[in-house]
Chain A
Amino acid sequence: MTPIEQYLAPATLDEAVGILQQGEVTILAGGTDLMPQSKAGRLAIKRTLMNIRRIPELKGIALDNDAIRIGALTTITEILNDPLVKEYLPVLADACDHFASDQIRNAGTLGGNIGNASPAGDTLVPLIVLDAEVELASKPNGSVTTRRLPLAEFFTGPGRTKRAANELLTAVRIPLPKAGHVARFFKFGTRPALDISAISIGIAGVIDNGVISNARVAFGAVAPTPIRAARTEEALEGRRLDEATIEAVASAARDEVNPIDDVRATAWYRKELIHNMTKRILDHVAQA
């Protein structure tokens, strides 16, 4: 492990992306992943440690045309208590309510949850079914440029994303849900609090006259990254939520995931959970 040679706490986005451009930088937000991972030797901090917490452009939740923009530094607690999130994205608030503990929600940020790129990251599955995009900023030739990527395509492996080394994740953009939009999140851990998900499920769609369109299904902790489940979505798209559809979707879900055995659950148990909980979520939606 190379020792940290430089600590910087830039006050503007422009400064921060300038620092990233020099290379060999580890980004620090709330530190709730970075500190335990670096202490355990699972992650080596690079030559420069850059604390982004003092950059005002990365904070806040706002309506931006037909989307809600959540700054990367927004904490889980701030998302949980935000009136826009409560009104338009209750499924995200629900996921934040089942996230770690009060202390960790007060420190941990949305950008950190995405940057950590854990297959079990709890905001990732709901954001994927909400068609969220990440916004990335860099300063390759003297001026700041940004690009956007669908979150569903952002993760490439545990702890790995398509973010280039010179890019900073600045925000997440979520299109405003249409009328009739329904979304649900379910997380299963082995105890009610402070648990990393053994599996998580996000399901969303627009219900019009009992028929589902724009079906979105995503799963956490059943693959190296959170995944969008195309075949499960197909089983749901254009259907009515009757018993036969619900069983077909739940079976498609079980067939589509390919989880591993680990300390939290066996692969078999995870597949059964995915089937049973997908069914339960859809039963609830059908009854609502």
Chain B
Amino acid sequence: MSLKHDIGFTLNGVKKRVTVDVGMTALDMLRDVVGLTGTKYGCGEGECGACTIQVDGLSMNSCLMFAVDCDGRDLVTIEGLAADPRADALREAFVEHGAVQCGFCTPGMVVQAAHLLATHPDADAETIKRGIEGNLCRCTGYKKIVDAIESACCGGK
């Protein structure tokens, strides 16, 4: 039997209480305990960014985070961004630029892009490329993703 621990946190603006295994990742908690499957498991090692979420306003790999460390914190996942009007421009830009192919990287990419735009409102293409260094995409070749983020960034200039 693995040790369990009760934690409470805010998830996409709503207070949650759950019981988790102490060795479990935040990603497994989101997908298997809470049941929000928008956040993806790619590598489980911090390399691909498919599991990116925001914790207290900062993007992190949920596969590297202990679920117990979510206690008392403010989590935003792709489901939260889907309901957030501030992310409208970003979502629309991804669609318009064809920045989505198979879509597996997309939730992590959009969460990371939202964090990037919040911290660098006037990001240029170079800043955007550096900002998504931790997000792999096997399909698009990144160009369309960078274009999409750039256009959302400057309010679709």
Contacts and interface: CB of A to CB of B under 8 A. Distances in A.
Given A31-B65, A39-B44, A49-B22, A104 B134 contact: yes
Nearest to B60: A107
A103 B25 contact: no
Interface string B109-133: 0001001100000000000001101
Interface in B1-36: 1-3, 5, 22-23, 25
A194 B69 contact: no
A101 B134 contact: yes
Interface in B55-108: 55, 58-61, 63-66, 68-69, 71-72
Which of A7, A45, A103, A106 has the largest count of B CB atoms less than 10 A from its CB?
Answer: A103
A103 B44 contact: no
Interface in B30-47: 44-47
Given A31-B66, A39-B44, A107 B61 contact: yes
Contact of B3 (A3, A9, A101, A107): A3
A179 interface: no
Contacts of A39: 25, 44
Given A4-B23, A31-B64, A106-B58, A51 B133 contact: no
Contact of A28 (B60, B69, B71, B135): B69
A193 B48 CA distance: 12
Contacts of B71: 9
A36 B22 CA distance: 14
B69 A103 contact: no
State which size class the interface on B falls in.
20 to 34
B23 A36 contact: no
A31 B116 CA distance: 22
Nearest to B25: A35
A147 to B, nearest CB: 29
Contacts of B112: 102-103
B103 to A, nearest CB: 20
Nearest to B54: A106
B56 to A, nearest CB: 9
Contacts of B23: 4, 38, 45, 49
A6 interface: yes
Interface in A1-38: 3-7, 9, 28, 30-32, 34-36, 38
Contacts of B46: 32, 36, 100-101, 103-104
Given A36-B44, A103-B60, A107-B55, 19 more contacts: A3-B1, A5-B3, A7-B68, A28-B69, A32-B64, A35-B64, A36-B46, A49-B22, A49-B68, A51-B66, A102-B112, A102-B131, A103-B59, A103-B112, A103-B134, A106-B58, A107-B60, A107-B61, A193-B133
Interface of A: 3-7, 9, 28, 30-32, 34-36, 38-39, 45, 49, 51, 53-54, 77, 100-104, 106-107, 192-194
**9 nearest A-B residue pairs (beta carbon):** A101-B134, A193-B133, A106-B58, A107-B60, A7-B22, A103-B134, A32-B64, A103-B61, A35-B64
